[in-house]
Amino acid sequence: MKGNKKFHLLLVLTFVFSLFLAACNANPDSEEGNEGNNGTDDGEATEEATGEPQQGGDIIVGSIGAPTLFNDLYSTDISSSDISGWLYDGLITYDENLEPKGVIAKDWETSEDGTEWTITLNEGITFHDGEPLTADDVVFTYSIPLSEDYSGARASDFEKIESIEAEGDTTVKIKLSEPYAPFLGTLSYGILPEHILKDVPIAELGEHEFNTKNPVGSGPFKFVEWKEGQYVKVEAFEDYFQGRPYLDTITYKIVPDANALMTQVQAGDVHEAAVQSQDLATAQKLADEGNINLSTELSLAYTYIGWNMANDMFKDEKVRQALTMAIDRESIIEAVLGGDGEIAHIPESPLSWAYNEDVPKFDYNVEEAKKLLEEAGWTPGDDGILQKDGKKFSFELKTNQGNKAREQIAQVTQEQLKEVGIEVKPTIMEWSAFIEEVTEKKDFDAVILGWSLSTDPDPTALWHSKEIEAGLNFVAFSDPDLDKLMEENTKVLDQEERKDIIGQIQAGIAEQQPYTFLYYPNDHYALAANLKGHVHHPSSEFYQIEKWWLEQ
């Protein structure tokens, strides 16, 4: 790529993928990990191919998470994102070493100050319906989040775009209102077909049937069918510009829970699946016997309990700190995950160049937790439950069905918080309904969830107060001083300077505990022994799935 070399180097180091709520990856979410006996530790293929890739074959991938829709600009869950990645291509992607590479984009260059971008597209790309993909489609796609009528959660990634224009069929010119360090990652959003959607009002686009019944992209696979609650099926796009995928079809099978998923892996009914910590020993045994391959690595993710600060119970910082101190995260990691994780303290992965170790930490301390709760005005009632102004400290803790770790964490949290006089009522919900209640209706007290993180450490999308109403800040965290730092961090192109700013933000969030950061989990993927071409990626379960193939 051309342009300002210093700026380009920064972009190589500060790549961005979008944030997605994770139903279940290796652990409840995703994160980096240990090296398994049959795993990979450096991004290489899971096992050396025994021959040339073979054309044909149908695979089934299993998941306890169900998708909601197939449009990158509107989806917020990992299941939807995974399938969208098969249907759509973005201008760029990030390889297994997290370095940017062009997909639809052949090349790009930036001005010295990083505010002007010229993107050259590859020629000969078509959508699944045979229509050509041109610069006009890029302009159309990127203009959607700029509209006042846009209702999705991705506006912050595009808000610095001052103008975007097509010059011919293969050149896009973008001008930013100010330098925006994470902008390269914005180019990873899937490109939508203008010829199909141009007459759909943007206010209606998020609910349009295109997103669920007939999504059309330019990616390696074409949509075939979505049987809600059961499966999504896609087939190879014969005219894919990078070459037809080796596989004929992929079925994304939705399985009720992790137990059923592992049973189907053992039976050979599922060719690929994320393995939760509780099932790791079983998966390792299958790998040792040669029935599957097991791929394990640390990924970009963390698991947390989110406290809804729109609820009066959680508005006081001392209360949130006390909640964290009353939860024994080390025992959760040992008892629930079998030691397969590491205590988290901030909303960033240790993989990140911006990870800040020097932040306030609230270690397990029941007596100190009781003291903080008393200082916040909560005192025991006759039944032992804390109360304040006549209201009991009792709340509902929601999480998603099928994720064994989260279900157990909800039970452990109930027992541990009982020790300090707090009543917790665990509620286990089907994934899609759960996500709707949390992200759209904001109908929750507290949730156990996980984030599959952006590769760029910009915390704006999750933590800026502007993201409360329609964005991903559904716990309603607001700090004007941190808002200012978040706005400043994206303007800084020097990595060390930016790291310092982000470190201050991480420390401020750690101090206020809007989440109890539980742990950084590990990713484990079970792969059928004859499934070849898999490359472990720290933030993408189905990286380069068009290159997967079955040895027959």
Distance CA 75, CA 431 (A): 14
What pLDDT shows up at residue 207?
96
Planar angle of CA 517, 439, 363, nearest 5 degrees: 10
Which residue numbers in the chain have pLDDT < 50? 1-18, 24-49
- The H-assigned helical ranges of 45-145 are 78-87, 135-143
Q: Helix or strand or coil: residue 56?
A: coil
CA gap 370, 326 in Å, rounded: 8
For residue 335, count other CB atoms closer than 10 A to its CB: 13
Q: Please report the pLDDT score of residue 419 as a whole number.
A: 98
Query: What span, in angstroms and rounded, lies between the C-alpha atoms of 304 and 314?
Result: 15
Of 200, 193, 84, nearest to 140 by C-alpha is 193
Give the pLDDT of residue 43.
39
- Concatenate the DSSP letters of all residues of 477-539 into one string: ---HHHHHHHHHHTT---HHHHHHHHHHHHHHHHHH-SEEEEEEEEEEEEEETTEE--B-BTT
Output the pLDDT for position 6: 31
Domain ranges in the chain are 301-522
How far is C-alpha 372 from the geometric centre of its chain's CA atoms?
33
Residue 20: predicted pLDDT: 53
Strands 391-392 and 446-452: unpaired
How far is Cα 28 from Cα 262, in angstroms, rounded to an integer? 15
pLDDT of residue 22: 57
pLDDT for res 393: 98
**DSSP β-bridge partners for residue 544:** none
Separation CA 424–CA 418 (nearest Å) = 7
Q: What angle do CA 185, 544, 246 make, to 5 degrees?
A: 150
Beta bridge partners of 168: none
pLDDT for res 39: 33
**Residue 4: per-residue pLDDT:** 39
CB environment 214-245: b (16+ within 10 A), e (fewer): ebbbbbbbbbeebeeeebbbbbbbeebbeeeb
What pTM was estimated for this model as a whole? 0.74
d(CA 117, CA 120): 10
AA identity, residue 37:
N
Q: What is the pLDDT of residue 455?
A: 78
Q: What is the CATH number assigned to the segment(s) 301-522?
A: 3.10.105.10
The answer to whether residues 302 and 520 touch, using CB atoms and an 8 Å cutoff, is yes
Helices (H), 206-328: 258-267, 280-288, 317-325
**Confidence at residue 297, expressed as pLDDT on a 0 to 100 scale:** 83
DSSP reduced 3-state for 549 = strand
Nearest one of 140, 244, 248 to 196, comparing CA atoms: 140
The Cβ of residue 48 has, within 10 Å, a number of other Cβ atoms equal to 7
Q: For a pLDDT cut of 70, what percent of the chain falls above it?
A: 91
Q: Which residues partner with 171 through β-bridges?
A: 120
Q: Which of 145, 3, 24 is nearest to 404 (CA)?
A: 24
At residue 7, the pLDDT reads: 31
Q: What pLDDT was estimated at residue 26? A: 32
Helix (H, G, I), strand (E, B) or coil at 231: strand
Place of tokens 């992607």: 93
Residues forming a β-bridge with 425 = 396
